Amino acid sequence: MKKLAIMTAFVLLGGGALAETPSEKIGVNSALGIAPTTQDFVTEAASAGQFEIQSSQLAQDRDPDPATKSFAQQMIADHQKIGAELKDLVKSKNIKVTIPDAMGSSDQSMLDSLKSVNGADFDKQYRDDQYSGHKNVVNLFQRYARGGDNPDLQQWAQKTTPILEHHLEMSRSLDKQASE
């Protein structure tokens, strides 16, 4: 009985972790390599994109070092383009999903946390968030590209994954540059 109570608490507390379905929320799908539902994929992709844009705009406002400034500019441009492609694809193919207008609670919490720090703490948290965010979104896109249930979105995920993998590598390099 105690194990059941702990498991239930874990599931309930995992509420904002990823997407809408319980398996996606607590990371079970990710851990098992299972593709998200189409709605979960769209929700998470849109939320992650908004986080990338808004956190990078915040980084621009904080007058970062040249490498971070360049990285942030590219994140804004690329994720605005990716977001527009997603909206256009959903609309043109009449895919029955809802694209959220706002970030999910997990991404919003990360952005709020980022807003609360300054200077070197901001720089470190921004780099860490970029790395972990891109690591998660690459996993999301790879899983959907392999097993998503909408062929148009699956093809788009396959086409977009290399861009996100490049962002992940850039974020890894950005972190290395800062520690040198």
Amino acid at 117: V
Spatial distance between the Cα atoms of 81 and 89, rounded to a whole number of angstroms? 12
> 65 or 134: which carries more pLDDT confidence?
134
Percent of the chain with pLDDT over 90: 74
Q: What is the pLDDT of residues 128-173, one digit of tens each?
A: 999 999 999 999 999 999 999 999 999 999 999 999 999 999 999 9
Chain-centroid distance of CA 65 in Å reads 24
Do 42 and 20 form a contact (C-beta atoms < 8 A)? Answer: no
Mapping DSSP to helix (H, G, I), strand (E, B) and coil, where does residue 180 land?
Answer: coil
Average of pLDDT values for 87-98?
98
Ordered by where they begin, the domains of the chain are 37-179 (1.20.1260.10)
